[in-house]
Amino acid sequence: MRENSRIHSRKLRATTLLLAKRLGVSKASQESGISRSTIYEWKQRLEEHGSEGLAPLPPTPRSHPQAIAESLKEQIRQLALAHPGCGCDRIEELLGEDAPYVSSTTIQKVLNRSKMGTRVERWLALERLAAREDTSLSVEQHDFVSDRNPCFPKCSYRSRGPGDVIHAGVWPLGKSERGNEVYVLAMVDACSAYAFGAIFEDRRMSPEVSLLDIKVRKFYLKRNVRVHKILIADSFNFPNVGLYSSAGSLVRVGPFLKMLKRPPIGRPCCLLRFQKIVISEFLRGPLRRKKNINVDANNREFQRWLQGYNWSRAHEGYPNWGKIPGHVFG
């Protein structure tokens, strides 16, 4: 006989009861390995219900008798998506008086099981929802997603592959130890989000641009990929640190920036997304923004950070959908 079995067949129960009738309950318990309380329970069920009482009972339901209905769970999920920036306390209020009372703790558990317990999960859920042709997001949902992923509104410059369109730009970082303005120069591939960059002082702009331009060209040339366009957004340009795309390369133009015709870019989404990542993951880390920036040390750390960004960090949301930027280059 099987010992310590949680599920006993009807035949095993009948055999155990016959053994108990012949030897006694205590002896039968020792022989069969089944507790005396269980044998007494079977004996009582046999007396009350006959042979049918020896049939195994149905399994105990996993759900709690006071568990909320599936329809209410769906209502909670819909409210979380409709108002993705709201917390569980606010969702509890939005359920209204007509719905059964559900505590904020229970709401959080429902959302966790549905993989919508955090704002990041709701953001990605909304992006997947928006990818369906039969669904459109509300203004609140669209603003919520766009704030976390500037690339969510499709870029007006469609990239056919790596190197087809590269967005370049500059934004200020602070003051150097010498008292000069410090900038971040970035170049981002619109197809893969692969990024190149440098931290520099304004007086060293020309060599930094030249070195980065050469680095970008060598990178694509080594992989037999042609660079078609390098575009500079107005919102990422400064009169004293001018950039201009000329035949696929960057040139320092300084105060003559306004005299040159630049490709018009209304929303440089790739640069906006990269800027948010740099600020949240690089500048807020061990090298958080300081009043006096050591340019050389920060630039070396920035290059190491870019290595992880390009070859280790999986990106979330459109347009990368969990891929690593370097995946397109093998």
Whichever domain contains 211, its CATH number is 3.30.420
pLDDT (0 to 100) of residue 192: 87
Same domain, 92 and 185: no
Same domain, 139 and 269: no
111 and 117 Cβ atoms separated by less than 8 Å: yes
Same domain, 246 and 295: yes
pLDDT confidence bin for 13, thresholds 50/70/90: confident
Whether residue 184 is predicted with pLDDT greater than 50 in this model: the reply is: yes
Range of the domain at 213: 165-329
Same domain, 22 and 135: no
Same domain, 176 and 97: no
Whether residue 274 is predicted with pLDDT greater than 60 in this model: the reply is: yes
Query: Would you list the DSSP string of 174-196?
Result: EEETTS-EEEEEEEEETTT--EE
Residue that is last in its domain, among 99, 114, 148:
148
Q: Is residue 178 part of a domain?
A: yes
Radius of gyration (C-alpha) of the chain in whole angstroms: 33
Q: Is residue 105 part of a domain?
A: yes
Q: How many domains does the chain fold into?
A: 3
Lowest-confidence region among 66-75, 147-156, 275-284, 307-316 = 147-156
Same domain, 124 and 227: no
Summarize pLDDT for 123-164 with one digit per residue, the tens. Answer: 989 988 888 766 788 888 888 888 888 888 776 666 778 888
How far apart are alpha carbons 166 and 268 in whole angstroms?
10
pLDDT (0 to 100) of residue 133: 67
Same domain, 192 and 272: yes
Same domain, 120 and 186: no
- For the record, the structure tokens of 294 come out as 């050591």
Per-position b or e across 20-55, b if 16+ CB within 10 A of its CB: beeeebeebbeebebeeeebeebbebbeeeeeebbe
Whether residue 256 is predicted with pLDDT greater than 50 in this model: the reply is: no
Three-state secondary structure call for residue 80: helix
Q: What is the DSSP pairing of strand 165-176 with strand 292-293?
A: parallel
Same domain, 208 and 291: yes
Nearest to 272 by CA among 149, 121, 145: 149
Q: Is residue 157 part of a domain?
A: no
**Residue 127 zone, left/alpha/beta (φ > 0; ψ -120 to 50; rest):** alpha
pLDDT confidence bin for 285, thresholds 50/70/90: low
- For the record, the structure tokens of 30 come out as 């020792």
pTM of the model: 0.65
pLDDT (0 to 100) of residue 289: 53
Same domain, 24 and 117: no
Same domain, 178 and 289: yes
Whether residue 198 is predicted with pLDDT greater than 50 in this model: the reply is: yes
Phi, psi angles (nearest 5°) of residue 228 = -95, -45
